[in-house]
Amino acid sequence: MTAEAFASRKAVITCRDSGGPAELVGDCVNGFICDPTPQSLASALRRVMDDVRVAEKMGAAAHAAGAQLHWANAVAQLTT
């Protein structure tokens, strides 16, 4: 789901304990990494919903990050 959101130019909101998505999302870059609490998630959602410029900037960064998600990069990262 994270890669699909990135491809769609959408910021991803995830929790610190969510595993894979938390490894792909840069906090305040292409999404938000939140504490796993309703308040923290609501705050991140509110920021994206209330500030179109933040949402668009993060969406563009997400798209750029998604463009780097391919097997050649994954293999290189695993073998270095």
Question: Phi-psi region for residue 19, left (φ > 0), alpha (ψ -120 to 50) or beta?
Answer: left
Structurally, the chain folds into a number of domains equal to 1
Tokens of 26: 């840069």
pLDDT(80) > 90: no
- pTM for the predicted model, two decimal places: 0.84
CATH value at residue 19: 3.40.50.2000
Q: How far is CA 11 from the centre of its chain?
A: 5
What gap in Å lies between CA 75 and CA 29, rounded to an integer?
Answer: 24
Which position has the higher pLDDT, 75 or 39?
Answer: 39
* 30 DSSP 8-state letter: T
Lowest mean pLDDT among 15-19, 27-31, 60-64, 72-76: 72-76
Amino acid at 34: C
Which tens digits make up the pLDDT trace of 5-45? Answer: 999 999 999 999 998 899 999 999 999 999 999 999 999 99
What gap in Å lies between CA 29 and CA 25, rounded to an integer?
Answer: 8
Q: Residue 40: give the domain boundaries.
A: 2-79
